[in-house]
């Protein structure tokens, strides 16, 4: 099966074409991604209407690039049917810029040989999601291809269930039930993975997400967006220089008996610390970054281990942007190995920890084989779409 996947839930515009015969090995035929992060950095976060405008401008160039890499960009032999053009005008009536670019593209190139179009329909920023969804609907109409809507968080789980071997993504061994720790800019949740496609929500944040906490603390400290990598870099410097522990931050809800999280108090504690302390020296900034990182990670680890123990899980799957954090990787792996000798912690395959279309294509593959294709008219953006 050959899948074309589209991801526009946040500030990355991404398209890929992926092929798999068996759900065990996945070949990336073409893959293109454009991050708008720098454009949003000026606003200190992701700005939904800017994301919508950027996705409109970027989708066709990104699609063209992915198809060209796949060798699937074939000049059109017969003109695009008038009836089709008319329907596309309607499907993309809310995305005029995208409509112009896509019509130009479709007049130039033939339908590629893909079996289905996977598109993220949530969770994420609705104005951004809609651009990808309407683009998918337009392509599905022009190419007579089915659509499979994909949950972005399921994509993050699948990104950790594969690894790159000899240039292909191969499915890894994993035991079920597994615990998925999903940590991104918008999410922090623990899911029980009964199998691919079957989940149960075990706990979630009651306020800010872990990535959001990294970003907000970084902003308070005068660091650019996204803050996670910045804090992580400074924290590593603090450890390398063995700086003394100057600051002490709370570990919110670490001892609560449930599997929920709360991170907004941590941000408030950082604000108070900065107010009390005044301007920080470079080393103090490093020491504070280390304390922020440790506080977030301590809580994530404690709750993940508790979930694994409660459900007898021997596999922990970590997904979402924060899974790129080196300290989290190191400490969670070590703690889980200690708690569960046969246990294994899976992190995303190289390059797949932040948003991308490959993870959407893999999730799309499993959804399509489980016959989860949808009538195009029924596909909608759902900003707070739940996995379970
Ligand atoms: O999954 P993602 O790319 O986008 C969302 O769906 O939110 O996650 C982005 C989040 C941001 O909050 C960013 O600060 C965080 O992931 N992040 C990190 C690191 N790299 C990205 N947080 C901590 N350490 C990192 N190395
Ligand atoms: Zn994400």
Q: Which of 46, 150, 211 has most ligand 1 atoms within 8 Å of CB, for mutation?
A: 211
The pocket around ligand 1, CB under 6 angstroms, is made up of: 10, 184-186, 211-212, 214-215, 226-229, 232, 320-322, 324-325, 354-355
Q: How far is the CA of 155 from the centre of ligand 2 (A)?
A: 8
pLDDT value at position 282? 97
pLDDT value at position 45? 76
pLDDT value at position 99? 98
What CA–CA distances, in Å, run from 276 to 210, 249, 251, 293, 369? 24, 13, 20, 20, 57
Percentage of residues in the chain having pLDDT higher than 70: 100
Q: What is the pLDDT of residues 31-68, one digit of tens each?
A: 999 999 888 888 877 888 999 999 999 999 999 999 99
Encoding tokens for residue 179?
């615990």
Q: Cα(225)–Cα(150) distance, rounded to whole angstroms?
A: 27
Residue 258 has pLDDT above 90, yes or no: yes
Q: CA geometry: angle at 247 spanning 307 and 242, to 5°? A: 90
Residue 123 has pLDDT above 80, yes or no: yes
Question: What is the average pLDDT value for the chain, to the nearest integer?
Answer: 96
Q: What is the pLDDT of residues 363-385, one digit of tens each?
A: 999 999 998 889 999 999 999 99
Give this prediction's pTM: 0.94
Q: What is the pLDDT of residues 328-343, one digit of tens each?
A: 999 999 999 999 999 9
Residue having the nearest C-alpha atom to atom 14 of ligand 1: 228
Residue 226 has pLDDT above 90, yes or no: no
Neighbours of 118 (CB within 10 A): 31
Q: Burial letters for 49-84: b for 16+ Cβ neighbours within 10 Å, e otherwise?
A: ebbbbbbbbbbbebbbbbbebbebbeeeeeebeeeb
Residue 221 has pLDDT above 90, yes or no: yes
Selection from 159, 195, 153 nearest residue 177 by Cα: 195
Residue 388 has pLDDT above 80, yes or no: yes
């Amino acid at each position: 099966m050959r899948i074309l996947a589209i991801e526009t839930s946040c500030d990355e515009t991404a398209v890929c074409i992926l092929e798999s015969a068996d759900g065990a090995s996945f070949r990336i035929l073409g893959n293109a991604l454009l991050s708008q992060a720098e454009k949003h950095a000026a606003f200190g976060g992701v700005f939904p209407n800017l994301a919508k405008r950027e996705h409109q401008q970027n989708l066709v160039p990104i699609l063209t690039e992915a198809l060209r890499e796949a060798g699937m960009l074939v000049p059109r032999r017969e003109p695009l049917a008038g009836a089709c053009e008319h329907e596309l005008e309607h499907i993309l009536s809310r995305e005029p810029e995208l409509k112009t670019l896509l019509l130009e593209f479709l007049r130039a190139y033939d339908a590629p040989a893909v079996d289905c179009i996977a598109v993220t329909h949530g969770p994420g920023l609705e104005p951004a999601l809609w651009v990808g969804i309407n683009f998918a609907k337009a392509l599905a109409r022009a190419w007579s291809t089915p659509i499979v809507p994909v949950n972005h968080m399921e994509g993050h789980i699948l990104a950790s269930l594969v690894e790159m071997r000899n240039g292909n993504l191969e499915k890894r061994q994993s035991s079920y039930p597994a615990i998925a720790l999903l940590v991104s800019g918008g999410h922090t949740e623990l899911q029980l993975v009964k199998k691919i496609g079957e989940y149960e929500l075990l706990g979630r944040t009651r306020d800010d997400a872990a990535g959001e906490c990294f970003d907000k603390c970084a902003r308070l400290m005068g660091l650019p967006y996204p803050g996670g990598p910045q804090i992580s870099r400074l924290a590593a410097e603090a450890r390398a220089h063995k700086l003394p522990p100057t600051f002490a931050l709370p570990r919110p809800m670490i001892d609560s008996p449930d599997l929920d999280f709360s991170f907004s108090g941590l941000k408030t504690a950082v604000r108070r610390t900065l107010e009390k302390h005044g301007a920080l020296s470079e080393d103090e900034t490093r020491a504070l970054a280390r304390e922020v990182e440790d506080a977030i990670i301590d809580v994530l680890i404690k709750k993940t281990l508790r979930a694994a123990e409660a459900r007898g899980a021997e596999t922990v799957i970590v997904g979402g942007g924060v899974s790129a954090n080196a300290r989290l990787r190191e400490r969670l792996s070590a703690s889980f190995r200690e708690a569960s000798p046969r246990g294994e912690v899976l992190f995303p395959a190289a390059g797949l920890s932040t948003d991308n279309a490959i993870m959407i294509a893999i999730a799309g593959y499993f959804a399509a084989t489980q016959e989860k294709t949808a009538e195009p008219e029924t596909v909608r953006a759902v900003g707070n779409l739940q996995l379970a």
